[in-house]
Amino acid sequence: MGVAAVVVAAGAGRRFGAPKQFADLGGASVARRSVAACRAVADLVVLVVPAGYDGDGEGADLVCEGGATRSASVRAGLAHVGEVEVVVVHDAARPWAAPALFSEVVAAVRAGADGAVPGLEVTDTLKRVARRDGVRVVEGTVARESLVAVQTPQAFRTAALVAAHAAGAEASDDAALVEATGGRVVVVAGDPTNRKITRPEDLVVEGVRA
């Protein structure tokens, strides 16, 4: 078995007002669509869910309970992937990820990278700010030429990802942990349609891929 996927669906959805990963999106839950998207490359899909989950597994092969943080939840899923060459980590809140995106990050890892992430060019002007006397004040303008906005799915050599998580460190994504241990993470072209659901208005049925 070459590739396993960990779909992270253990969040509380505070900004959404409910666990967004289980909201209905065109007749299927957001998480179910994300699990199905992983089938483009994964032989095994592990869904990481919050405590008290009473669903049917959303089409995943295995379901496990997550932790108090995103990184802890990924570690919970990693414990169930078995002996695979590559692990793909995907946020359940990105149900529109295309099969090609999964294939590209996995191919980059198989070509020799420790990890691969999809990245979009930053087109907005970025300001570095600080709060002073209750007001946010601009401290400088950040050069955007060397920046990308990163998405999931992210793919990793299994050994590299397990080693990066071994110390129980926390990060906003898994690539940051692999980078911190000296791993080589490459960037493939991201997809603007691979949006992340954060608020109820993000549930646009017209964007559903069958």
167-183 per-position pLDDT tens digit: 999 999 999 999 999 99
Helix (H) or strand (E) holding 123: none
Peptide bond into 19 cis (omega under 30): no
CA distance 34 to 40: 11
Q: 22 and 31 in contact (C-beta within 8 Å)?
A: yes
DSSP summary character for residue 160: H
CATH architecture of 3-207: Alpha-Beta Complex (3.90)
Q: 45 and 81 in contact (C-beta within 8 Å)?
A: no
Ordered by start, the domain boundaries in the chain are 3-207
> The pTM is what?
0.91
181-196 per-position pLDDT tens digit: 999 999 999 999 999 9
Which of the four pLDDT bands, split at 50, 70 and 90, describes residue 209?
very low
